[in-house]
Amino acid sequence: MKNKFLLFIALAAMAVAASIATTYFLQKDRSISYVKADVVFNDFEMTKELKVKLDNTVNARQTILDSIMVIMRIASENGNKELLSRTEKEYYIKKEAFDGQNRELTQKYDEQVWLRINQYVKEFGEKKHYDYLLGANGSGSLMYSSEKNDVTKELLDYMNTSYKGSEK
Amino acid sequence: MRTTVYTIIITLTIIAQGCSRQKATPEEYIAYINNAKNGLTQTREFGEYQITLQYRPLAFEVLNNTGAESITKETLDKQLTGNSGLEYYLLKIGSIEKKTDALANGLSSTGQYQERISQLVSGIERSIKLVIDQDTFPCVMHHYERNYQMADYHNILLVFEPQKPALGRDRTIVYDDEILGIGKIIYTIDKSDIKSIPELTL
Protein backbone atom coordinates (compact mmCIF):
# COMPACT_ATOMS: atom_id res chain seq x y z
CA MET A 1 0.00 0.00 0.00
CA LYS A 2 2.76 2.34 1.04
CA ASN A 3 4.79 1.41 -2.04
CA LYS A 4 1.84 2.10 -4.33
CA PHE A 5 1.38 5.51 -2.72
CA LEU A 6 5.05 6.37 -3.18
CA LEU A 7 4.89 5.19 -6.78
CA PHE A 8 1.88 7.40 -7.36
CA ILE A 9 3.65 10.43 -5.85
CA ALA A 10 6.73 9.74 -8.01
CA LEU A 11 4.64 9.48 -11.18
CA ALA A 12 2.74 12.67 -10.33
CA ALA A 13 5.99 14.55 -9.70
CA MET A 14 7.39 13.34 -13.04
CA ALA A 15 4.22 14.44 -14.83
CA VAL A 16 4.43 17.92 -13.29
CA ALA A 17 8.12 18.20 -14.17
CA ALA A 18 7.44 17.10 -17.75
CA SER A 19 4.63 19.66 -18.03
CA ILE A 20 6.85 22.48 -16.74
CA ALA A 21 9.69 21.46 -19.07
CA THR A 22 7.35 21.29 -22.08
CA THR A 23 5.88 24.70 -21.27
CA TYR A 24 9.37 26.17 -20.88
CA PHE A 25 10.60 24.80 -24.19
CA LEU A 26 7.41 25.78 -26.01
CA GLN A 27 7.76 29.27 -24.55
CA LYS A 28 11.39 29.36 -25.60
CA ASP A 29 10.37 28.32 -29.15
CA ARG A 30 8.23 31.48 -29.40
CA SER A 31 11.24 33.80 -28.98
CA ILE A 32 11.81 33.94 -32.76
CA SER A 33 8.89 33.90 -35.17
CA TYR A 34 7.98 35.44 -38.50
CA VAL A 35 5.04 37.14 -40.13
CA LYS A 36 4.19 37.55 -43.78
CA ALA A 37 4.58 41.29 -44.17
CA ASP A 38 2.56 41.55 -47.37
CA VAL A 39 -0.39 39.67 -45.83
CA VAL A 40 -0.19 41.84 -42.70
CA PHE A 41 -0.23 44.99 -44.81
CA ASN A 42 -2.97 43.93 -47.23
CA ASP A 43 -5.33 42.32 -44.71
CA PHE A 44 -5.07 45.09 -42.13
CA GLU A 45 -8.44 46.86 -41.78
CA MET A 46 -6.84 50.31 -41.84
CA THR A 47 -5.18 49.49 -45.18
CA LYS A 48 -8.50 48.37 -46.64
CA GLU A 49 -10.30 51.51 -45.41
CA LEU A 50 -7.66 53.85 -46.75
CA LYS A 51 -7.58 51.97 -50.06
CA VAL A 52 -11.31 52.60 -50.45
CA LYS A 53 -10.79 56.27 -49.55
CA LEU A 54 -7.90 56.54 -52.04
CA ASP A 55 -9.88 54.80 -54.78
CA ASN A 56 -12.84 57.15 -54.23
CA THR A 57 -10.59 60.21 -54.51
CA VAL A 58 -8.73 58.88 -57.57
CA ASN A 59 -12.02 57.95 -59.26
CA ALA A 60 -13.53 61.38 -58.56
CA ARG A 61 -10.52 63.02 -60.16
CA GLN A 62 -10.68 60.65 -63.11
CA THR A 63 -14.33 61.59 -63.59
CA ILE A 64 -13.29 65.25 -63.92
CA LEU A 65 -10.68 64.28 -66.54
CA ASP A 66 -13.22 62.12 -68.37
CA SER A 67 -15.63 65.08 -68.55
CA ILE A 68 -12.94 67.23 -70.13
CA MET A 69 -12.21 64.39 -72.59
CA VAL A 70 -15.87 64.37 -73.64
CA ILE A 71 -15.70 68.11 -74.37
CA MET A 72 -12.47 67.57 -76.31
CA ARG A 73 -14.10 64.87 -78.45
CA ILE A 74 -17.13 67.03 -79.15
CA ALA A 75 -14.91 70.02 -80.00
CA SER A 76 -12.89 67.78 -82.35
CA GLU A 77 -16.01 66.41 -84.05
CA ASN A 78 -17.40 69.93 -84.52
CA GLY A 79 -14.10 71.27 -85.82
CA ASN A 80 -13.92 73.82 -82.98
CA LYS A 81 -10.14 74.21 -82.87
CA GLU A 82 -10.11 76.99 -80.28
CA LEU A 83 -12.20 75.00 -77.79
CA LEU A 84 -10.19 71.85 -78.53
CA SER A 85 -6.91 73.64 -77.87
CA ARG A 86 -8.19 75.15 -74.64
CA THR A 87 -9.60 71.89 -73.27
CA GLU A 88 -6.48 69.94 -74.27
CA LYS A 89 -4.36 72.35 -72.28
CA GLU A 90 -6.76 72.14 -69.31
CA TYR A 91 -6.73 68.34 -69.52
CA TYR A 92 -2.96 68.00 -69.38
CA ILE A 93 -2.56 70.57 -66.58
CA LYS A 94 -5.20 68.83 -64.49
CA LYS A 95 -3.84 65.36 -65.28
CA GLU A 96 -0.39 66.33 -64.15
CA ALA A 97 -1.73 67.92 -60.96
CA PHE A 98 -3.98 64.93 -60.18
CA ASP A 99 -1.20 62.40 -60.82
CA GLY A 100 1.05 64.27 -58.37
CA GLN A 101 -1.73 64.56 -55.79
CA ASN A 102 -2.60 60.87 -56.16
CA ARG A 103 1.03 59.90 -55.60
CA GLU A 104 1.23 62.14 -52.50
CA LEU A 105 -2.00 60.73 -51.13
CA THR A 106 -0.85 57.15 -51.70
CA GLN A 107 2.39 57.91 -49.91
CA LYS A 108 0.57 59.65 -47.06
CA TYR A 109 -1.76 56.69 -46.55
CA ASP A 110 1.09 54.17 -46.79
CA GLU A 111 3.00 56.09 -44.11
CA GLN A 112 -0.05 56.15 -41.86
CA VAL A 113 -0.54 52.40 -42.25
CA TRP A 114 3.11 51.48 -41.62
CA LEU A 115 3.25 53.81 -38.59
CA ARG A 116 0.26 51.96 -37.19
CA ILE A 117 1.57 48.50 -38.12
CA ASN A 118 4.92 49.22 -36.50
CA GLN A 119 3.21 50.32 -33.29
CA TYR A 120 0.99 47.25 -33.14
CA VAL A 121 3.86 44.88 -33.99
CA LYS A 122 5.86 46.41 -31.14
CA GLU A 123 2.94 45.98 -28.69
CA PHE A 124 2.28 42.45 -29.96
CA GLY A 125 5.92 41.43 -29.60
CA GLU A 126 6.06 42.80 -26.04
CA LYS A 127 2.82 41.17 -24.95
CA LYS A 128 3.76 37.79 -26.43
CA HIS A 129 7.37 38.00 -25.18
CA TYR A 130 9.01 37.50 -28.57
CA ASP A 131 12.72 38.23 -28.87
CA TYR A 132 12.54 38.56 -32.67
CA LEU A 133 9.62 38.95 -35.04
CA LEU A 134 10.84 38.84 -38.61
CA GLY A 135 9.04 40.18 -41.65
CA ALA A 136 8.95 37.78 -44.60
CA ASN A 137 7.78 39.33 -47.86
CA GLY A 138 9.19 37.03 -50.53
CA SER A 139 12.08 39.32 -51.29
CA GLY A 140 13.40 39.47 -47.73
CA SER A 141 16.12 37.53 -46.03
CA LEU A 142 13.91 34.90 -44.46
CA MET A 143 13.47 32.21 -47.06
CA TYR A 144 12.05 29.38 -45.02
CA SER A 145 10.59 28.71 -41.63
CA SER A 146 8.55 25.99 -40.09
CA GLU A 147 4.79 26.54 -40.28
CA LYS A 148 4.50 26.39 -36.50
CA ASN A 149 6.35 29.71 -36.22
CA ASP A 150 3.91 31.50 -38.52
CA VAL A 151 2.03 33.96 -36.31
CA THR A 152 0.65 36.09 -39.18
CA LYS A 153 -2.99 35.36 -38.35
CA GLU A 154 -2.47 35.95 -34.64
CA LEU A 155 -0.82 39.32 -35.28
CA LEU A 156 -3.52 40.31 -37.79
CA ASP A 157 -6.28 39.47 -35.29
CA TYR A 158 -4.52 41.57 -32.66
CA MET A 159 -4.03 44.51 -35.03
CA ASN A 160 -7.61 44.56 -36.29
CA THR A 161 -9.00 44.30 -32.75
CA SER A 162 -6.75 47.16 -31.57
CA TYR A 163 -7.64 49.30 -34.57
CA LYS A 164 -11.34 48.91 -33.86
CA GLY A 165 -10.72 50.19 -30.35
CA SER A 166 -11.50 46.96 -28.57
CA GLU A 167 -7.99 46.38 -27.31
CA LYS A 168 -7.15 48.84 -24.49
CA MET B 1 -39.29 29.02 9.19
CA ARG B 2 -38.39 32.34 10.86
CA THR B 3 -34.69 31.62 10.37
CA THR B 4 -35.27 30.95 6.68
CA VAL B 5 -37.16 34.23 6.25
CA TYR B 6 -34.43 36.21 8.05
CA THR B 7 -31.75 34.52 5.93
CA ILE B 8 -33.58 35.43 2.71
CA ILE B 9 -34.04 39.04 3.84
CA ILE B 10 -30.39 39.43 4.82
CA THR B 11 -29.21 37.81 1.56
CA LEU B 12 -31.42 40.08 -0.53
CA THR B 13 -30.17 43.13 1.41
CA ILE B 14 -26.55 42.18 0.76
CA ILE B 15 -27.27 41.63 -2.94
CA ALA B 16 -29.04 45.00 -3.16
CA GLN B 17 -26.06 46.70 -1.53
CA GLY B 18 -23.72 45.07 -4.03
CA CYS B 19 -25.85 46.11 -6.98
CA SER B 20 -26.21 49.73 -5.97
CA ARG B 21 -23.65 52.25 -7.12
CA GLN B 22 -20.94 53.34 -4.75
CA LYS B 23 -21.16 56.89 -3.50
CA ALA B 24 -18.36 59.42 -3.69
CA THR B 25 -17.60 62.89 -2.41
CA PRO B 26 -16.63 65.50 -5.01
CA GLU B 27 -12.91 64.91 -4.46
CA GLU B 28 -13.33 61.11 -4.64
CA TYR B 29 -15.48 61.47 -7.74
CA ILE B 30 -12.87 63.56 -9.56
CA ALA B 31 -10.12 61.12 -8.55
CA TYR B 32 -12.19 58.18 -9.85
CA ILE B 33 -12.78 59.75 -13.25
CA ASN B 34 -9.11 60.71 -13.59
CA ASN B 35 -7.88 57.22 -12.64
CA ALA B 36 -6.86 55.52 -15.91
CA LYS B 37 -7.48 52.07 -14.38
CA ASN B 38 -11.23 52.70 -14.38
CA GLY B 39 -11.42 52.45 -18.18
CA LEU B 40 -12.70 55.98 -18.76
CA THR B 41 -9.31 57.22 -19.98
CA GLN B 42 -7.57 55.50 -22.88
CA THR B 43 -4.20 56.29 -24.42
CA ARG B 44 -2.78 55.33 -27.81
CA GLU B 45 0.81 55.87 -28.94
CA PHE B 46 1.82 56.30 -32.57
CA GLY B 47 5.30 57.37 -33.55
CA GLU B 48 6.11 60.45 -31.46
CA TYR B 49 2.52 61.08 -30.40
CA GLN B 50 0.47 60.04 -27.41
CA ILE B 51 -3.25 60.57 -27.96
CA THR B 52 -5.50 60.22 -24.92
CA LEU B 53 -9.29 60.23 -24.74
CA GLN B 54 -11.19 60.69 -21.49
CA TYR B 55 -14.92 60.20 -20.98
CA ARG B 56 -16.19 63.00 -18.71
CA PRO B 57 -19.59 62.61 -17.04
CA LEU B 58 -21.63 65.77 -16.85
CA ALA B 59 -21.22 65.92 -13.06
CA PHE B 60 -17.44 65.84 -13.51
CA GLU B 61 -17.59 68.80 -15.88
CA VAL B 62 -19.76 70.73 -13.42
CA LEU B 63 -17.31 70.02 -10.59
CA ASN B 64 -14.36 71.13 -12.73
CA ASN B 65 -16.08 74.35 -13.76
CA THR B 66 -17.57 75.25 -10.39
CA GLY B 67 -14.96 73.87 -8.03
CA ALA B 68 -15.30 70.72 -5.93
CA GLU B 69 -14.95 72.63 -2.64
CA SER B 70 -17.59 75.26 -3.26
CA ILE B 71 -20.27 73.45 -5.20
CA THR B 72 -23.76 73.20 -3.75
CA LYS B 73 -26.47 70.63 -4.46
CA GLU B 74 -28.65 73.35 -5.93
CA THR B 75 -25.95 74.44 -8.38
CA LEU B 76 -25.16 70.85 -9.31
CA ASP B 77 -28.82 69.95 -9.94
CA LYS B 78 -29.36 73.11 -11.98
CA GLN B 79 -26.29 72.42 -14.18
CA LEU B 80 -27.19 68.75 -14.62
CA THR B 81 -30.71 69.63 -15.69
CA GLY B 82 -29.63 72.48 -17.96
CA ASN B 83 -27.05 70.41 -19.81
CA SER B 84 -28.77 67.04 -19.77
CA GLY B 85 -28.35 65.01 -22.94
CA LEU B 86 -24.83 66.29 -23.60
CA GLU B 87 -21.75 64.06 -23.44
CA TYR B 88 -18.29 65.42 -22.80
CA TYR B 89 -14.94 63.97 -23.80
CA LEU B 90 -11.41 65.32 -23.54
CA LEU B 91 -8.94 64.61 -26.34
CA LYS B 92 -5.34 65.18 -25.34
CA ILE B 93 -2.63 65.31 -28.00
CA GLY B 94 0.72 64.82 -26.34
CA SER B 95 4.30 63.91 -27.06
CA ILE B 96 5.68 60.52 -25.91
CA GLU B 97 8.96 62.17 -24.96
CA LYS B 98 7.05 64.87 -23.04
CA LYS B 99 9.91 67.27 -23.63
CA THR B 100 8.70 69.06 -26.73
CA ASP B 101 5.41 70.51 -27.87
CA ALA B 102 3.55 67.61 -29.53
CA LEU B 103 2.45 69.76 -32.47
CA ALA B 104 6.08 70.69 -33.17
CA ASN B 105 6.90 67.05 -34.01
CA GLY B 106 7.48 66.13 -37.66
CA LEU B 107 7.05 69.62 -39.10
CA SER B 108 7.93 69.89 -42.78
CA SER B 109 7.63 73.68 -43.00
CA THR B 110 7.65 76.70 -40.68
CA GLY B 111 4.01 77.58 -41.34
CA GLN B 112 2.82 74.07 -40.58
CA TYR B 113 2.79 74.64 -36.80
CA GLN B 114 0.35 77.53 -37.14
CA GLU B 115 -1.73 75.48 -39.59
CA ARG B 116 -2.00 72.74 -36.97
CA ILE B 117 -3.04 75.25 -34.31
CA SER B 118 -5.65 76.69 -36.68
CA GLN B 119 -7.08 73.24 -37.28
CA LEU B 120 -7.38 72.62 -33.55
CA VAL B 121 -9.14 75.97 -33.12
CA SER B 122 -11.52 75.24 -35.95
CA GLY B 123 -11.78 72.11 -38.01
CA ILE B 124 -10.82 69.21 -35.75
CA GLU B 125 -14.43 68.82 -34.63
CA ARG B 126 -15.32 67.62 -38.14
CA SER B 127 -12.83 64.76 -37.80
CA ILE B 128 -14.37 63.33 -34.62
CA LYS B 129 -17.58 61.31 -34.34
CA LEU B 130 -19.38 59.55 -31.51
CA VAL B 131 -20.76 56.14 -32.47
CA ILE B 132 -23.36 54.39 -30.32
CA ASP B 133 -24.54 51.09 -31.81
CA GLN B 134 -25.38 51.92 -35.45
CA ASP B 135 -25.84 55.67 -34.87
CA THR B 136 -23.16 58.25 -35.59
CA PHE B 137 -23.26 61.68 -33.94
CA PRO B 138 -21.17 64.71 -34.92
CA CYS B 139 -19.30 66.85 -32.43
CA VAL B 140 -21.71 69.73 -31.66
CA MET B 141 -19.21 71.87 -29.76
CA HIS B 142 -15.52 71.83 -29.04
CA HIS B 143 -13.05 73.99 -27.17
CA TYR B 144 -9.31 73.98 -27.77
CA GLU B 145 -7.37 75.06 -24.66
CA ARG B 146 -4.49 76.99 -26.15
CA ASN B 147 -1.50 76.94 -23.77
CA TYR B 148 1.08 78.80 -25.92
CA GLN B 149 3.64 75.98 -25.50
CA MET B 150 3.50 76.10 -21.68
CA ALA B 151 2.93 72.32 -21.83
CA ASP B 152 3.89 69.53 -24.23
CA TYR B 153 0.25 68.54 -24.76
CA HIS B 154 -2.88 70.10 -26.23
CA ASN B 155 -6.37 69.57 -24.78
CA ILE B 156 -9.52 69.71 -26.81
CA LEU B 157 -12.88 69.42 -25.02
CA LEU B 158 -15.49 67.73 -27.20
CA VAL B 159 -19.26 67.81 -26.74
CA PHE B 160 -21.76 65.45 -28.37
CA GLU B 161 -25.51 65.28 -28.19
CA PRO B 162 -26.75 61.72 -28.80
CA GLN B 163 -30.31 62.03 -30.06
CA LYS B 164 -31.60 58.99 -28.24
CA PRO B 165 -30.91 57.83 -24.69
CA ALA B 166 -27.60 56.01 -24.62
CA LEU B 167 -27.72 54.49 -21.17
CA GLY B 168 -26.22 51.05 -20.97
CA ARG B 169 -24.42 51.21 -24.33
CA ASP B 170 -20.78 51.26 -25.33
CA ARG B 171 -19.48 54.56 -26.66
CA THR B 172 -17.05 54.64 -29.57
CA ILE B 173 -15.15 57.79 -30.49
CA VAL B 174 -13.68 57.79 -33.98
CA TYR B 175 -10.98 60.39 -34.59
CA ASP B 176 -9.95 60.54 -38.24
CA ASP B 177 -6.76 62.56 -37.87
CA GLU B 178 -5.87 65.03 -40.62
CA ILE B 179 -3.35 67.07 -38.60
CA LEU B 180 -0.58 64.74 -37.45
CA GLY B 181 -0.59 62.12 -40.24
CA ILE B 182 -1.45 59.22 -37.95
CA GLY B 183 -4.78 58.22 -39.52
CA LYS B 184 -7.92 56.97 -37.86
CA ILE B 185 -7.96 56.19 -34.13
CA ILE B 186 -10.88 54.40 -32.51
CA TYR B 187 -11.60 54.46 -28.77
CA THR B 188 -14.30 52.36 -27.13
CA ILE B 189 -15.59 53.13 -23.64
CA ASP B 190 -17.27 50.04 -22.19
CA LYS B 191 -20.78 50.44 -20.87
CA SER B 192 -19.68 48.55 -17.75
CA ASP B 193 -17.04 51.19 -17.02
CA ILE B 194 -19.64 53.95 -17.36
CA LYS B 195 -22.05 52.02 -15.18
CA SER B 196 -19.36 51.65 -12.51
CA ILE B 197 -18.94 55.40 -12.07
CA PRO B 198 -19.85 56.17 -8.46
CA GLU B 199 -22.75 58.39 -7.55
CA LEU B 200 -21.76 61.92 -6.58
CA THR B 201 -23.02 62.96 -3.16
CA LEU B 202 -22.80 66.41 -1.62
- In sequence order, what are the residues at sequence separation of 6 or more whose Cβ sits closer than 8 angstroms to the Cβ of residue B192? B39
pLDDT for A19 equals 72
Computed over every residue of chain A, the mean pLDDT equals 86
Cα–Cα separations (whole angstroms), residue A140 to A117, A119, B50:
18, 21, 32
Separation between Cα atoms, residue A63 and residue A6, nearest integer Å: 84
- Count of alpha carbons within 13 angstroms of residue A114, beta-carbon side: 9
B14: confidence class by pLDDT, cuts 50, 70, 90? low
Q: Is pLDDT of B129 > 90?
A: yes
Give the bridge partners for A150, in sequence order. A34
Q: Is pLDDT of B18 > 60?
A: no
Q: Across the interface, which of B181, B184, B188 has its CB nearest the CB of A49?
A: B184
pLDDT for A122 equals 86
Q: Is pLDDT of B194 > 70?
A: yes
Q: What is the ipTM of this complex?
A: 0.70
Out of B30-34, B44-48, B87-91, B136-140, pick the least confident: B44-48
Q: Across the interface, which of B45, B181, B187 has its CB nearest the CB of A119?
A: B45
Candidates A53, A116, A123, A124: best to mutate against B (most CBs of B within 10 A) is A116
Q: What is the pLDDT of residues A93-149, one digit of tens each?
A: 999 999 999 999 999 999 999 999 988 988 888 888 887 788 776 555 564 566 777
Q: Is B70 exposed, middle or buried (0-12, 13-18, 19+ CB in 10 A)?
A: exposed
User: Contacts of residue A108 in chain B, CB cutoff 8 Å?
Assistant: 181
φ and ψ at residue B2, rounded to 5 degrees: -65, -40
pLDDT for B93 equals 96
Q: Is pLDDT of B13 > 80?
A: no
pLDDT for B106 equals 81
Q: Across the interface, which of B45, B183, B186 has its CB nearest the CB of A164?
A: B186
Q: How many CB atoms lie within 10 A of CB B86?
A: 14
Could you give the 3-state DSSP secondary structure of residue B187?
A: strand
Strand order in the sheet with B135-145: B41-46, B49-56, B87-95, B154-160, B135-145, B128-132, B171-176, B184-189
φ and ψ at residue B171, rounded to 5 degrees: -110, 135
Q: What is the pLDDT of residues B37-92, one digit of tens each?
A: 999 999 999 988 999 999 999 999 999 888 888 888 898 899 888 888 899 999 99
The H-or-E segment that residue B35 falls in is none
CA dihedral B184, B150, B143, B131 (to 10 degrees): 30
User: Contacts of residue B96 in chain A, CB cutoff 8 Å?
Assistant: none
pLDDT for A146 equals 67
A49 near B CB under 8 A: yes
Percent of chain B with pLDDT over 70: 95
